[in-house]
């Protein structure tokens, strides 16, 4: 019988150190991430450590080392053979946030490769892969070889991250979700940045959402997260910049998978809602500047069809049919304005919860989603409405869901007397580099 492997540390000692507000050493951090990946540190022990980190925080050195240890738990990708700069974008998630869909092909128009490794939705925030899977035939799972070939040929790819990138994060992410530690800024920052740095992109633009529909409810918390992630990227040699963007109101006029794809195609066709276009253009400019392609006329590539051509090539390369009709929900239900007046607020979180209850999202990562489910918005803050006019249309295949979805929207919209002026915050609140 083999003797048990002697471990460098004891998990309980590491937990107690962080519980008592001590800084963890590099060696302790390296060991705990490796031992957790190997199954030596149990889930309940890592849960306890995650809670201690949430309550007591981490220094910049600790966060950097924790991130590096998560990267070293798996493989790293290398795009140097492409012979062109690479840039990626990560959003912290919101309601109606379909920006990745038009953004990746748009940036690729200018000779910058976009390796966009994306995820699925959980809770009230939609997942990019769920949206794209509503396109008939499109597939999210690509091998590294397929991904590199598509980047070389098309210039943009949106796909699922391989299991080899930061496997420690995959385990820890699932654990945080069920232990009340999702909000720990050191753990959010290291989770996002370990995957992005391991992905090997040369430049990274972070879209850090602020408001009711975001994980970060206040500008102060969002700025702290953004500054932490920019520092991690910069320290790792990735040109990193962050925009703080508003998420009190849903982005665009749709929340839901096929509905958001349809809206993204409108943007690529030179139309679409003004806020979606504004943010797509702002993030594209940041990605191009970080990749050394400053000063390009981004808006022109949306207007003249070049971005749409890149979208069609990208969808086809992953088995999708860009001309196929998108799924449509079997049932709809309208929410009407209760009064005459001006829409002054529309709570993004409430709209996200309602879309989720209609079937657009999932409660557990293994749950299916409905491609056609979601919400269409007919008015947003600033719009003048009349009593009985449509405010929203709810879409689902399962009409028994309407009642709970409508309940989530009870106080979602405020209508003030005509002449009232809603305080509409700027979409881009701040830039952190």
Kindly report, residue by residue over 157-208, the tens digit of the pLDDT: 999 887 788 889 888 988 888 888 988 999 999 999 999 999 999 999 999 9
Give catalytic status of residue 90 as yes or no.
yes
Q: Confidence class of residue 122 from pLDDT cuts 50, 70 and 90?
A: low
- The whole-angstrom separation of Cα 194 and Cα 200 is 10
Give catalytic status of residue 191 as yes or no.
yes
Given the residues 169, 248, 275, 347, select the one marked as catalytic.
Answer: 169
CB 113 within 8 A of CB 158: no
Provide mean pLDDT across the span 241-245.
98
Task: State whether residue 394 is helix, strand or coil.
Answer: strand
Question: CB-based contacts of 115: which residues, under 8 Å, 6+ apart?
Answer: 77, 79, 86, 88, 147, 151, 157, 199, 200, 201
Give catalytic status of residue 196 as yes or no.
no
Question: CB-based contacts of 88: which residues, under 8 Å, 6+ apart?
Answer: 114, 115, 116, 117, 196, 199, 201, 203, 204, 205, 287
Given the residues 89, 170, 176, 209, select the one marked as catalytic.
Answer: 176
* Residue of 118, 164, 129 lying closest to 144 (CA atoms): 164
pLDDT higher than threshold 80 for residue 288? yes
| Residue tagged 């309407």 (tokens) | 402
- pLDDT value at residue 3: 43
**pTM (two decimals):** 0.93
Residues of the chain with pLDDT > 90, as a percent, come to 84
Give catalytic status of residue 6 as yes or no.
no
Domains of the chain, CATH where assigned: 11-57 (1.20.970.10), 80-162+178-317 (3.40.1030.10), 331-416 (3.90.1170.30)
- pLDDT value at residue 163: 73
Give catalytic status of residue 176 as yes or no.
yes
The DSSP bridge partners found for residue 393 are 334, 376
- The whole-angstrom separation of Cα 70 and Cα 91 is 20
The DSSP bridge partners found for residue 242 are 206, 432
What DSSP assignment string belongs to 143-194?
-HHHHHHHHHHTSEEEEEPPTTS-HHHHHHHHHHHTTT-TT-HHHHHHHHHH
Given the residues 18, 89, 90, 395, select the one marked as catalytic.
Answer: 90
Given the residues 195, 262, 312, 401, select the one marked as catalytic.
Answer: 195
- The whole-angstrom separation of Cα 17 and Cα 27 is 13
Q: Which of 1-10, 300-309, 414-423 has the lowest mean pLDDT?
A: 1-10
* Residue of 354, 373, 331, 327 lying closest to 250 (CA atoms): 354
- pLDDT value at residue 173: 84
- The whole-angstrom separation of Cα 134 and Cα 131 is 6
What CA dihedral angle connects 109, 114, 119 and 120, to 10 degrees? 10
> Cα–Cα distances in Å, from 81 out to 236, 287, 329?
20, 20, 44
Kindly report, residue by residue over 36-81, the tens digit of the pLDDT: 999 999 999 999 999 999 999 999 999 999 999 999 999 999 998 8
Task: State whether residue 230 is helix, strand or coil.
Answer: helix
* Residue of 314, 37, 267 lying closest to 165 (CA atoms): 37
The DSSP bridge partners found for residue 206 are 90, 242
- pLDDT value at residue 125: 73
The DSSP bridge partners found for residue 343 are 415
What DSSP assignment string belongs to 283-329?
HHHHHHHHTT-TT--HHHHHHSSHHHHHHHHHHHHTT--TTSPPP--
Given the residues 47, 191, 194, 264, select the one marked as catalytic.
Answer: 191
pLDDT higher than threshold 60 for residue 2? no
Kindly report, residue by residue over 318-372, the tens digit of the pLDDT: 999 999 999 999 999 999 999 999 999 999 999 999 999 999 987 776 778 999 9
* Residue of 121, 72, 75, 71 lying closest to 98 (CA atoms): 121
Task: State whether residue 365 is helix, strand or coil.
Answer: coil
Joined together, the tokens standing for residue 242 give 């962050």
* Residue of 280, 252, 275 lying closest to 102 (CA atoms): 280
pLDDT higher than threshold 80 for residue 223? yes
Residues belonging to the chain: 433
Question: CB-based contacts of 260: which residues, under 8 Å, 6+ apart?
Answer: 96, 98, 101, 126, 131, 252, 254, 374
pLDDT higher than threshold 50 for residue 218? yes
């Amino acid at each position: 019988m083999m003797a048990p492997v002697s471990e460098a540390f004891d998990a309980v000692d590491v937990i107690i150190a962080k519980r008592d507000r001590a800084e963890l050493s590099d060696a302790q951090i390296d060991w705990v991430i490796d031992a957790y990946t190997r199954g030596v540190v149990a889930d309940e022990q890592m849960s306890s450590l995650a809670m201690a980190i949430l309550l007591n925080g981490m220094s910049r050195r600790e966060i950097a080392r924790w991130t590096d240890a998560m990267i070293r738990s798996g493989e790293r990708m290398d795009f140097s053979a492409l012979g062109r700069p690479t840039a990626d974008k990560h959003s912290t998630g919101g309601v109606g946030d379909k920006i990745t869909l038009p953004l990746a092909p748009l940036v690729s128009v200018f000779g910058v490769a976009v390796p966009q490794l994306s995820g699925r939705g959980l809770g009230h925030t939609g997942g990019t892969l769920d949206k794209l899977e509503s396109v008939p035939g499109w597939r999210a799972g690509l091998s590294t070889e397929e991904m590199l070939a598509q980047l070389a040929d098309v210039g943009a790819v949106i796909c699922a991250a391989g299991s080899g990138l930061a496997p420690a994060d995959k385990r820890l992410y699932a654990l945080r979700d069920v232990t009340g530690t999702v909000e720990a800024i050191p753990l959010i920052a290291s989770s996002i940045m370990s995957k992005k740095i391991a992905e090997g992109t040369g430049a990274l633009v972070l879209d850090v959402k602020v408001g009711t529909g975001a994980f970060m409810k206040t500008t102060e918390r969002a700025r702290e997260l953004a500054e932490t992630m920019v520092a991690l990227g910069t320290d790792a040699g990735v040109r990193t910049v962050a925009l703080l963007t508003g998420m009190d109101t849903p982005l665009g006029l749709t929340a839901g998978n096929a509905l958001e794809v349809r809206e993204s195609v409108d943007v690529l066709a030179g139309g679409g809602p003004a806020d979606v276009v504004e943010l797509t253009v702002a993030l594209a400019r940041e990605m191009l500047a970080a990749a050394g392609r400053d000063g390009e006329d981004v808006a022109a590539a949306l207007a003249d069809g070049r971005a749409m051509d890149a979208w069609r090539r990208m969808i086809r390369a992953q088995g999708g049919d860009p001309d196929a009709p998108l799924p449509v929900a079997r049932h709809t239900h309208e929410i009407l304005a209760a009064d005459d007046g001006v829409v002054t607020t529309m709570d993004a979180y409430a709209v996200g919860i309602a879309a989720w209850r209609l079937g657009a999202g999932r409660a557990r990562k293994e749950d299916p989603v409905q491609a056609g489910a979601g919400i269409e918005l007919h008015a947003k803050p600033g719009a003048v409405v009349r009593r009985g006019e449509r405010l929203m249309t709810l879409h689902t295949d399962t009409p028994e869901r309407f009642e709970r979805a409508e309940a989530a929207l009870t106080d979602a919209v405020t209508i003030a007397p005509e002449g009232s002026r809603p305080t509409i915050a700027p979409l881009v609140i701040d830039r952190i580099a």
